[in-house]
Chain A
Amino acid sequence: MTEAKKTPLLDELEKGPWPSFVTEIKKAAANSPSAQDLLGQLELSYEDKKGHWKHGGLVGVMGYGGGVIGRYSDIPEQFPNVEMFHTIRLNQPSGWYYNTKALRQICDLWEKYGSGLTNLHGSTGDLVLLGTRTENLQPFFDEVSNLEEHPFDLGGSGSNLRTPSCCAGPARCEFALIDTTDLCHDLTNEFQDYLHRPMWPYKSKIKISGCPNDCVASIARSDFSIQGTWRDDIKIDQEAVRAYVAEGFDIQGLVIDKCPTKCMSWDGNELTIDNANCTRCMHCINKMCKALRPGDDRGATILIGGKAPILQGAMMGWVIIPFMKLEPPYTELKEFLEKAWEWWDENGKTRERIGELILRLGMRNFLRAVGLEPVPQMVNAPRANPFFFWWPEETVQD
């Protein structure tokens, strides 16, 4: 091990009540020369106010085109143990539920092959193993995928289907209107080839939330946002509503007045909801979950196009399928995804997300390609300009 660099700047970040990442790196550094050098290089970054990683890095495992993010120090002569410091993405179990045996196995392997540092978890959802050398990638993958119990596969990276993720779902939440954990697992397995072998214009992400609270932020962070919803009436337990009020809960101020469609009323004894005008925002249910429950006719709304600013500006997903029943084996959803990806693969430019492609070619072309009818739920408002297209068959041709 090289002589440890002093870290006065980072040492400051061991103070204070919030758990310290510097303490974590130091814990790992006790057994790991690469964690030790990471600390040293990071201290230098704090002095220089800039990162010390070289641009890019292409490494991986046999059979796959993604799953590993290569990284090389730009000052390896000073920090030889982070000359290579690659990240491995492991596909997390649905909903980030773990038993300790599964986690301990990963720790043991990562102690053997890596820096001992991790991210729990990456923003897309993967279990991120932070820092190893190229020659360790394949042996690690050989072992982790052959674990007798709870073997792990790699997650996604590159121009492919990224690792899907979902909220806590029906295993722990009363708001789960679809089986998010099962659907996430099912889609991940169905599309393993798309996930491991990049073949698309750019990345594509799926996130699944059990209700419109959207606890995995699917609308902002996935190209395909699947959010549980319902079509029938909210179930009201009037006794339980009265119990809330009896306990001093301000039902008028905190629920009725905040309803976005003003479709609720409270007469002091009975709560009434005009369900035809409810937009299922979840607010009243969130506030009074003992008294109000979503309806029984359940499925999902599917939104398309969510992404960060590069290149055409940040986008949130917009409604593309207002309601779809979602029961195993999820055939209708899979057919939709296949059609959307095929159209994008055919028409997308290099590094063009599906949302940007739809904006470039127009919703009408996308809808026609995937066989969807336009409905008003897709827009906030109809267009205000007169620059619209007609299909040839809609006009009289000579």
Chain B
Amino acid sequence: MAQARTDIGPPLYKDMLPPICKENYGKWRYHEIIKPGVLVHVSETGAKLYTVRAGSPRLVSIQFIREICDLADKYCGGYLRFTSRHNVEFLVSEEANVEPLLAELAAKKIPVGGTGNSITNIVHTQGWVHCHTPATDASGIVKSVMDELFEYFTTMKLPAKLRIALACCLNMCGAVHCSDIAILGIHRTVPKIDHENLHKMCEIPTLTASCPTAAIRPNPKLKSIDIKADRCMYCGNCYTMCPSVQIIDPKNDAVSIWVGGKISNSRIGPRFSRLAIPFLPNNPPRWPEVVEAVKHLVEVWAANAQPGERMAEWIDRISWEKFFEITGLPFTDKHIDDFTLAQTTFRCTTQFKW
């Protein structure tokens, strides 16, 4: 067999574009959402490109890929794309193909939606399927939450768009720190140290430097390290650096919920997500407490937000104290920041609501 060709980079995107996209490259004039999951982009030349957006579990088999390729061959001249939220988009240049494609997707139970004021796909991570540091699973919670919120994927009845993301540990791969609702796996106990093997497996200076709160000190006597328990907030970064520091604790690992992040610059600009619920139990396979909490947040926001108000804008308007009152979520000492920029989050004004 031929030796690998190196440094060739990705396939050229131009070879992957349907003719209508090549012909109208940079000439698109406007777009409309015809109905949930179906967009039309209209070019200066009058050409129309229909996009049918379908949900995907992200973790998919080659059988699934071949199935959507069959659909793309049949209705889209062999072209499709994926979105930055893991949805599949069928790029249809013949209007007459839209309805037959929708019918076939419906028959295959591949949901169409995720446009406009909807809840689209959940950006998520590896979980127990492939990662070594997770505090929870990714795919299982995502499936459970999307099953419960399914109607919001296929409709556009919310006040604004709502983005949900999940990360299985606080490395926060993905978009958890900037989503309307974020689900984050957390640990709650200090790592256990395997003193006997640590020096064989790990680089101690790297290990001490890996701690955000400087809780780790070398222990030269044991050729190991010590962790000051009262400084450790269980981030697990030391475990990332060293297998002899074991953070995973099934009895205590859990899920937290964050709200009010956004990415886009429209109106109020990008925001971080902030802690709403510090602890919910890991309860596979359906994580009912997590699903219930997310659903509750969606419903309270949807019932109270003004048209066009995303989660962060709604909370901005009503204040955090009203957020906790209206949602009924307990406010705890966990909610008050005590990391490096903590003081910037304190209330330095007498303006607040009772």
Question: Which positions in A face B, CB cutoff 8 Å?
Answer: 9-10, 12-13, 15-22, 24-25, 27-28, 35, 38, 42, 45-46, 48-56, 61-64, 69, 71, 85, 87, 91-104, 106-107, 110-111, 116-121, 123, 130-131, 138-139, 141-143, 145-146, 150-153, 165, 167-168, 170-174, 176, 179, 181-182, 184-185, 188-189, 192-193, 196, 212-217, 219-221, 250, 253-254, 258, 260, 279-283, 286, 289-290, 308-314, 316, 349-351
- Please judge, given known A-B contacts A18-B57, A54-B132, whether A120 and B1 are in contact too, CB under 8 Å: no
Q: Is the CB of B111 within 8 A of A145?
A: no
Q: Is the CB of B284 within 8 A of A46?
A: yes
In angstroms, Cα B257 to Cα A20, docked, is 23
Q: Is the CB of A97 within 8 A of B16?
A: yes
In angstroms, Cα B211 to Cα A312, docked, is 10
| Chain A residue nearest to B62 in the complex (CB) | A107
Q: Is the CB of B134 within 8 A of A51?
A: yes
* B82 close to A (CB within 8 Å): yes
* B81 close to A (CB within 8 Å): yes
Q: Is the CB of B81 within 8 A of A98?
A: yes
Q: What residues of chain A lie closer than 8 Å to B195, measured between beta carbons? A: none
With A21-B57, A185-B12, A314-B172 known, 17 other A-B pairs at CB within 8 A are: A19-B57, A19-B111, A27-B61, A27-B63, A46-B128, A54-B243, A94-B13, A96-B84, A100-B78, A103-B65, A172-B28, A172-B49, A176-B26, A220-B178, A308-B171, A316-B270, A351-B210
Q: Is the CB of A120 within 8 A of B170?
A: no
Which of B78, B86, B143 is within 8 Å of A20, CB to CB?
A: B143
Q: What residues of chain A lie closer than 8 Å to B175, measured between beta carbons? A: 123, 217, 220-221
Q: Is the CB of B16 within 8 A of A93?
A: yes
Q: Is the CB of A146 within 8 A of B132?
A: no
* B107 close to A (CB within 8 Å): no
* B264 close to A (CB within 8 Å): yes
- Point out which of A56, A93, A189, A351 has the most chain B C-beta atoms below 10 A from its C-beta: A93
Q: What would be 13 A-B contacts, judged by CB atoms less than 8 Å apart?
A: A13-B285, A16-B147, A19-B109, A24-B57, A42-B128, A96-B83, A101-B78, A146-B2, A168-B81, A212-B264, A282-B266, A289-B30, A316-B270
| Chain A residue nearest to B154 in the complex (CB) | A17
Which of A116, A176, A279 is within 8 Å of B63, CB to CB?
A: A116
Q: Is the CB of A213 within 8 A of B111?
A: no
Q: What residues of chain B lie closer than 8 Å to A19, measured between beta carbons? A: 55-57, 109-111
| Chain B residue nearest to A280 in the complex (CB) | B265
User: Measured between C-beta atoms, what is the minimum distance from A72 to chain B in Å?
Assistant: 9
- Please judge, given known A-B contacts A181-B13, A310-B212, whether A120 and B65 are in contact too, CB under 8 Å: yes
Q: Is the CB of A21 within 8 A of B58?
A: yes
| Chain B residue nearest to A215 in the complex (CB) | B84
Q: Is the CB of A308 within 8 A of B177?
A: yes
In angstroms, Cα B5 to Cα A138, docked, is 11
Q: Which of B66-74, B216-224, B296-304, B325-333 contacts A (4 or more CB under 8 A)?
A: B66-74
Q: Is the CB of B130 within 8 A of A104?
A: no
User: Measured between C-beta atoms, what is the minimum distance from A61 to chain B in Å?
Assistant: 7
User: Measured between C-beta atoms, what is the minimum distance from A59 to chain B in Å?
Assistant: 14
* B336 close to A (CB within 8 Å): no
Q: What residues of chain A lie closer than 8 Å to B2, measured between beta carbons? A: 142, 146
- Please judge, given known A-B contacts A98-B79, A123-B173, whether A216 and B10 are in contact too, CB under 8 Å: no
* B52 close to A (CB within 8 Å): no
In angstroms, Cα B308 to Cα A56, docked, is 45
In angstroms, Cα B21 to Cα A352, docked, is 41
- Please judge, given known A-B contacts A17-B147, A93-B13, A145-B6, whether A120 and B284 are in contact too, CB under 8 Å: no
Q: Is the CB of B139 within 8 A of A21?
A: yes
- Please judge, given known A-B contacts A94-B10, A308-B171, A313-B341, whether A99 and B4 are in contact too, CB under 8 Å: no
Q: Is the CB of B125 within 8 A of A93?
A: no
Question: Which positions in B face A, CB cutoff 8 Å?
Answer: 1-13, 15-17, 21-22, 25-26, 28-31, 41, 49, 51, 55-66, 69, 72-73, 78-84, 86, 88, 91, 109-111, 123, 125, 127-134, 137, 139-140, 142-144, 146-147, 150, 153, 170-175, 177-178, 206, 209-210, 212, 235, 237, 239-240, 243, 248, 250, 253, 263-270, 272, 282, 284-286, 307-308, 339-341
Which of B267, B340, B341 is within 8 Å of A260, CB to CB?
A: B267
Q: What residues of chain B lie closer than 8 Å to A181, measured between beta carbons? A: 13
In angstroms, Cα B272 to Cα A92, docked, is 28
Q: Is the CB of A123 within 8 A of B125?
A: yes
Q: Is the CB of B91 within 8 A of A172?
A: yes
Which of A64, A91, A182 is within 8 Å of B9, CB to CB?
A: A91
Q: What residues of chain B lie closer than 8 Å to A94, measured between beta carbons? A: 10, 13
Q: What residues of chain B lie closer than 8 Å to A12, measured between beta carbons? A: 285-286
- Please judge, given known A-B contacts A185-B9, A350-B209, whether A104 and B66 are in contact too, CB under 8 Å: yes
Q: Is the CB of A214 within 8 A of B264?
A: yes
In angstroms, Cα B16 to Cα A48, docked, is 44
Q: Is the CB of A63 within 8 A of B243?
A: no
In angstroms, Cα B51 to Cα A63, docked, is 40
In angstroms, Cα B306 to Cα A250, docked, is 13
In angstroms, Cα B72 to Cα A24, docked, is 19
In angstroms, Cα B269 to Cα A282, docked, is 10
Which of B73, B285, B308 is within 8 Å of A46, CB to CB?
A: B285
Which of A50, A111, A138, A185 is within 8 Å of B13, CB to CB?
A: A185
- Please judge, given known A-B contacts A97-B13, A118-B62, A308-B173, whether A316 and B178 are in contact too, CB under 8 Å: yes
In angstroms, Cα B13 to Cα A174, docked, is 18
Q: What residues of chain A lie closer than 8 Å to B139, measured between beta carbons? A: 13, 21
Q: Is the CB of B263 within 8 A of A214?
A: yes
Q: What residues of chain A lie closer than 8 Å to B65, measured between beta carbons? A: 103-104, 106-107, 118, 120
- Point out which of A45, A50, A146, A181 has the most chain B C-beta atoms below 10 A from its C-beta: A50
Q: Is the CB of B59 within 8 A of A217?
A: no
User: Measured between C-beta atoms, what is the minimum distance from A34 to chain B in Å?
Assistant: 12
Q: Is the CB of B30 within 8 A of A174?
A: yes
| Chain A residue nearest to B44 in the complex (CB) | A174
Q: What residues of chain B lie closer than 8 Å to A279, measured between beta carbons? A: 265
Q: Is the CB of B62 within 8 A of A116?
A: yes
Q: Is the CB of A99 within 8 A of B307?
A: no
Q: What residues of chain A lie closer than 8 Å to B12, measured between beta carbons? A: 93, 185
Q: What residues of chain A lie closer than 8 Å to B146, measured between beta carbons? A: 18
User: Measured between C-beta atoms, what is the minimum distance from A318 to chain B in Å?
Assistant: 10
User: Measured between C-beta atoms, what is the minimum distance from B110 to chain A in Å?
Assistant: 6
Q: Is the CB of B265 within 8 A of A214?
A: yes
